[in-house]
Amino acid sequence: MIAVIVPAHNEAALIGPCLESIAAASLCPVLAGESVRTIVVCDDCSDETLQVARSMNAETMEVRVRNVGQARAAGAELALRLGARWLAFTDADTRVSPQWLSEQLALDADAVCGTIGVTQWASYGARMQQHFSLTYTDRDGHAHVHGANLGVSARAYVQAGGFKALTTGEDVALVEALRASGARVAWSARPRVTTSAREDFRAPGGFGATLNRIEQQKSWVSSPRLAA
């Protein structure tokens, strides 16, 4: 069984399309009918996130930690208890491609770090889009780590110690632990996802926060390469 874990804090407005895309990916013929279970971890939600997820047949659990590392870990723990052999992680503001899961598995690695694309740039405009295209490495052999596009075998996840209780950078910490444990990590652009350039970002050090920092600095030429 494959499990997809989606942490969510007040994501009722965005999680529907995310879950639709996961449902489509779970039907990819390459998976040969293997069961895919989607787990939405509702973290201190005060909106309709839980109800939306349940209406779309996702499994749900509630935590009140306001901590993405703990939320991902809680979802992974449930997935392991259910017997998952592969854990795939994405975010509620992200849509995965129909081949997302099959491409992760096809890489035959212990863990897969994928890249992201952005389709809507909100108020950032053309300058940010150009900056992204010039500084982001969207090809095999990249060095990006995104919780929105991450996969790991159950065995490797347990051996690495799982997600740490971090409010940001939990994905990077897991990949570092995986590498330290000897896991084979694939850095690939094959598993595709698109995410939002949201300004109301959740993780203080995530992709949305990185865009906001670049926007505030107005350092379009000298700003650091987009790595989160």
**Sequence-separated (6 or more) residues with CB below 8 Å from residue 142:** 113, 115, 187, 189
Question: Domain ranges in the chain?
Answer: 2-217
Q: Bridge partners of 193?
A: 96
The pLDDT of 154-170, averaged and rounded, is 97
Q: What is the structure's pLDDT at 228?
A: 46
Looking at the predicted structure, is the pLDDT value of residue 10 above 80?
yes
Q: Could you give the C-alpha distances from 80 to 2, 23, 180, 207, in angstroms and in order? A: 10, 20, 22, 28
CB 58 within 8 A of CB 5: no
More confident position, 206 or 117: 117
CB 21 within 8 A of CB 117: no
Q: What is the structure's pLDDT at 152?
A: 99
Q: What is the structure's pLDDT at 207?
A: 72
Looking at the predicted structure, is the pLDDT value of residue 221 above 60?
no
Distance CA 19, CA 162 (A): 24
Work out the pLDDT band at 124, boundaries 50, 70, 90: confident
The pLDDT of 54-73, averaged and rounded, is 98
Structure tokens at 7: 């942490």
Structure tokens at 134: 């010039």
Looking at the predicted structure, is the pLDDT value of residue 222 above 70?
no
The pLDDT of 202-213, averaged and rounded, is 65
Looking at the predicted structure, is the pLDDT value of residue 227 above 60?
no
Work out the pLDDT band at 138, boundaries 50, 70, 90: very high
Looking at the predicted structure, is the pLDDT value of residue 187 above 60?
yes
* CA Rg value for the chain: 16
Name the CATH architecture for the domain at 2-217.
Answer: Alpha-Beta Complex (3.90)
Compute the mean pLDDT over every residue in the chain, rounded to the nearest whole number. Answer: 91
Nearest to 138 by CA among 107, 115, 104: 115
Q: What is the structure's pLDDT at 223?
A: 47
CB 76 within 8 A of CB 111: no
